[in-house]
């Protein structure tokens, strides 16, 4: 990576990715400065970086941090482009990237990139498990687990790098090129960051921007507006569908999941009734990815029929007094919550609410009508969600201030044979540092009942 030798680089935002990037660029000979608006005592990793001789500035963004002598800015994905140092860098024409761009520059191993509004973690986890079952070397990271540039530095050419990628990460890419790219779906989300659906989709589609005919792009056939807006792709295109046959990819045919390579080969992989994956489209996408990566049919079927699920994603917590409790804290938008609600066959006591992003939630009214018996709402969106519940004819509803109170209230609404479902339809940041914290508090509350 001689391109960074003696170059001045500013890393904005620490967290795991910022610390990893700073250390990596330092090893490449760059003159790195790290800046984080958090107070020093909250900036985990600052002391470690300073011991390496990397300057760390905490608590504010200095006015002179960004100047024409800076060659590159690497920002934490969650920092908006309107943040003063980022905006100044862009005004000066300084490249602004995220950590995954750096990972792609150093990776010797081919990358599998997986993105979408919903289902990224489940699909990424599935792909990693199937490749392992098939005896194919793979490392899983990105937006989950290990920072991607840390994996890219050690992965060998005969391994796969399987990466969950957010729109925030992809928006900061320039040369990033996965050998296999997957866009699972697209629904309104993160519009407080991206501002418009067009910008949000453009960030997702950067996954395919640098692919060639030697690469593969995997798209949802059941969302024609998404695949249409991706435009003409250079990569070989595969599709997945729950509702109809596709020319190349995976689909459901009379209860059986089928893979077709587009050249006359047709394989029946597994019956839908035999999979333990919460959402069939995640399984379909994983099948295409792993078949292209060399996994055999038997390994794919084995994992799909035994997959234990992922924490905070339709995670079964416990049965209390005949009531089943499920933690779906990762459902941070209405579409994700809709999928979870429709997956439950029993009467539901729904715990919902969180950060207000200006969504009206009207699309959930037909979903909860006749399916949800009571609503327990918390967070900034509690009033509007309770209003939608009333529109759906749900007579039982209450607003609470804590997750613990939500669990207790839901337990009083629920009868034996019901389901209590935490599926917030909102991000967690109005009350919690992450959806993981929210989900863990829910599980703790359930176990204390």
Q: Is 38 annotated as a binding residue?
A: no
Q: Is 373 annotated as a binding residue?
A: no
Report CA-CA distances (Å) from 226 to 118, 221, 240: 14, 9, 13
Q: Is 121 annotated as a binding residue?
A: yes
Q: Is 173 annotated as a binding residue?
A: no
Hey, what's the torsion of the CAs at 223, 116, 158, 250, to 10 degrees? -30
Q: Is 204 annotated as a binding residue?
A: no
CB 11 within 8 A of CB 33: yes
Strands 249-253 and 256-260: antiparallel
Give me Rg for the CA atoms of the chain. Answer: 23
The DSSP output letter for 41 is G
Q: Is 327 annotated as a binding residue?
A: no
CB-based burial of residue 435 (10 Å sphere; 0-12 exposed, 13-18 middle, 19+ buried)?
buried
Question: For residue 222, which of 163, 168, 173, 285 has the smallest C-alpha distance?
Answer: 285
Angle between helices 280-292 and 297-304 (to 10 degrees): 150
The enclosing H or E element of 31 equals strand 31-36
CB 269 within 8 A of CB 301: yes
Q: Is 434 annotated as a binding residue?
A: no
Angle CA(142)–CA(144)–CA(149) in degrees, nearest 5? 25
- Please state the residue numbers annotated as binding site for ATP: 116-122
Query: Binding-site residues, please?
Result: 116-122
């Amino acid at each position: 990576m001689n391109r960074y030798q003696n170059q001045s680089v500013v890393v904005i935002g620490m967290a795991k990715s910022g610390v990893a990037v700073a250390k990596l660029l330092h090893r490449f000979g760059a003159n790195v400065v790290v800046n984080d608006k958090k107070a020093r005592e909250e900036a985990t990793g600052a002391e470690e970086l300073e011991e390496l001789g990397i300057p760390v500035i905490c608590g504010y963004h200095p006015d002179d941090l960004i100047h024409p002598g800076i060659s590159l800015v690497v920002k934490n994905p969650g920092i908006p482009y309107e943040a003063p140092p980022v905006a100044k860098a862009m005004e000066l024409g300084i490249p602004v990237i995220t950590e995954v761009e750096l990972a792609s520059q150093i990776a010797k191993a081919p990358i599998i990139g997986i993105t979408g509004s919903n289902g990224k973690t489940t699909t990424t986890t599935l792909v990693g498990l199937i490749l392992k079952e098939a005896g194919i070397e793979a490392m899983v990271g990105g937006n989950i687990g290990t920072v991607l540039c840390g994996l890219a530095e050690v992965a060998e050419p005969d391994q796969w790098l399987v990466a969950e990628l957010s729109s925030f990460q992809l928006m900061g890419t320039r040369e990033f090129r996965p050998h296999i790219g997957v866009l699972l779906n697209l629904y309104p989300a993160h519009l407080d960051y991206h501002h418009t659906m067009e910008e949000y989709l453009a960030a997702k589609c950067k996954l395919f921007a640098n692919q060639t005919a030697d690469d593969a792009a995997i798209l949802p056939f059941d969302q024609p507006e998404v695949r249409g807006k991706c435009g003409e792709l250079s990569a070989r295109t595969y599709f997945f569908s729950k509702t109809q046959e596709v020319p190349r990819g995976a689909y459901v045919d009379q209860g059986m999941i089928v893979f077709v390579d587009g050249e006359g080969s047709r394989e029946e992989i597994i019956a839908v009734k035999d999979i333990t994956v919460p959402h069939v489209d995640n399984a379909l996408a994983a099948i295409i990815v792993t078949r292209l990566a060399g996994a055999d049919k038997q390994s794919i079927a084995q994992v799909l029929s035994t997959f234990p699920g992922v924490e905070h994603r339709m995670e079964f917590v416990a049965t209390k007094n005949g009531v089943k409790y499920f933690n779906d804290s990762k459902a941070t938008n209405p579409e994700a919550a809709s999928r979870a609600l429709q997956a439950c066959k029993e009467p539901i006591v729904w715990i919902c609410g969180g950060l207000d992003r200006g969504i009206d939630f009207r699309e959930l009214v037909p979903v909860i009508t006749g399916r949800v018996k009571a609503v327990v709402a918390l967070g900034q969106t509690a009033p509007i969600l309770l209003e939608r519940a009333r529109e759906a004819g749900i007579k039982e509803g209450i607003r609470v201030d804590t997750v613990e109170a939500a669990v207790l209230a839901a337990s009083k609404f629920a009868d034996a044979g019901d389901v209590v479902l935490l599926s917030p339809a909102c991000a967690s940041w109005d009350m919690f540092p992450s959806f993981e914290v929210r989900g863990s508090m829910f599980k703790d509350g359930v176990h204390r009942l």
